[in-house]
Structure 1
């Protein structure tokens, strides 16, 4: 039996069960849940980096967004609050749409 030891989506046990598989799971405590969200986020970002087409990129971005949604309650925050912070930062420093790549800054 393969050993995964990683965070999975909530319905994965039912998917495994329906296919006749046997499995074991446990529910993570909040601190370890956040650690595993961070680990999974890293994994999904790596997978996003490896995408070569629109559909795969959107699938990985959806996974990243789902992990962000999962992390918010652990920080006692809402998506609306996160969006407000995102907008405030964008208004102050801009977004990333223009693709500006900083090469160097000359010392004075």
Structure 2
């Protein structure tokens, strides 16, 4: 029996049950959940960085957003609030389209 020891999406146990496989799972307390979400954030970031095909990249970006939204929810931060701040920062500071790489700044 493979061991996973990782946070999974809510419907994964249903999928496993439908395949008639046995499994063990548990519900995490809030502290452990937050810790595991941060582990998942790194996992999803690594998967995005390794993704080659466009379809894979879109899937990993969606997974990454899901984890960010879950972390936000722990702090009472809604996706709309994140998007609002993102747009505000983009208006004030710009995005990354111009590919500017800052080397140094004279003091």
TM over 0.5: yes
Q: For residues 1-40 of structure 1, what are the structure 2 equivalents within 5 Å? A: 1-40=1-40
CA distance in 1, matches of 2:29, 2:6: 14
Gaps spanning 5+ residues in structure 2: where? none
CA distance in 2, matches of 1:31, 1:97: 37
Moved over 6 A (4+): none
Tell me the CA shift for residue 70 of structure 1: 1.4
Tell me the CA shift for residue 28 of structure 1: 1.1
- Alpha-carbon RMSD: 1.3
SS in 2 for 1:105: coil
SS in 1 for 2:26: coil
- CA deviation map 1:16-60 (0-9, x unaligned): 111111111111112211111111111111111111111010010
CA distance in 1, matches of 2:95, 2:32: 32
Tell me the CA shift for residue 71 of structure 1: 1.5
The count of corresponding residues between Structure 1 and Structure 2 is 107
